[in-house]
Amino acid sequence: MKKQTNIIIITILVILLSAIFSEIALSHPHVFIAQRIKIVFDDNGLAGFNIQWEFDEMFTSMIVEDHDKNQNKMFEANEVALIKKEAFLYVSNYNYFTFVRINGKKFDVKFIKNFSARLSNHKLLYVFFIPCHVAATNNFKQVLINSYDPSYYTALFFSDKDPVVLENSEACEIKTAIKEDESTSIYYGQINPWALFLDFRKKQ
């Protein structure tokens, strides 16, 4: 009887482990995005982030096949609108893959502005603006911009070329660093996403 009970327990464990590892296998990235962030300032301080996503060739070819209706290797306004509806807006359910903390406090990305889609060097580019207003003071404020897909279906990483640029930043003293965010983990705790750490204050 004890032997039979052990066999049942082992069988259940095998089934559970198989389910877990199957889920992990399905979560492996299928889409790859190289990201660039333009940090935009205004007269008051931080205004937001202009995000550029460059997609891998496979995802690019899928979008071109489905949305470049006239096959002219570019996207007209109606095609961009359809791309936004069918191949972008779903990420709003995941904070647009952009998770922001201001001095450690969570900032929800509830909407974006100025979405565009185009082809460059045979790669699909998405560009969009995330408003995030943080007034500059005499003391440093830290803004952490962490970009990842919680399901790990999509892998986001910073571009090797010009991953971060500044706009209208002359009135501020600014420090930036790209490094792993050790306070955040995904993929069953195995991965710490890379994030942009931004510190800024008024020039003294």
Contact 30, 154 (CB under 8 A): yes
What are 142-182's pLDDT values in tens digits? Answer: 999 999 999 889 999 999 999 999 999 999 999 999 999 98
What are 64-86's pLDDT values in tens digits? Answer: 999 988 888 889 999 999 999 99
Q: Is 158 helix (H, G, I), strand (E, B) or coil?
A: strand
CATH number of 29-202: 2.70.170
According to the model, what pLDDT value does residue 40 have? 98
Per-chain mean pLDDT for the chain: 88
Give me 120's structure tokens: 């460059």
- Give the residue extent of every domain in the chain: 29-202
According to the model, what pLDDT value does residue 188 have? 78
Contacts of 32 (CB under 8 A, 6+ apart): 55, 56, 59, 154, 155, 157
Helix (H) or strand (E) holding 67: helix 57-67
According to the model, what pLDDT value does residue 5 have? 53
Cα 144 versus chain centre, distance: 13
Alpha-carbon span 24 to 43, nearest angstrom: 46
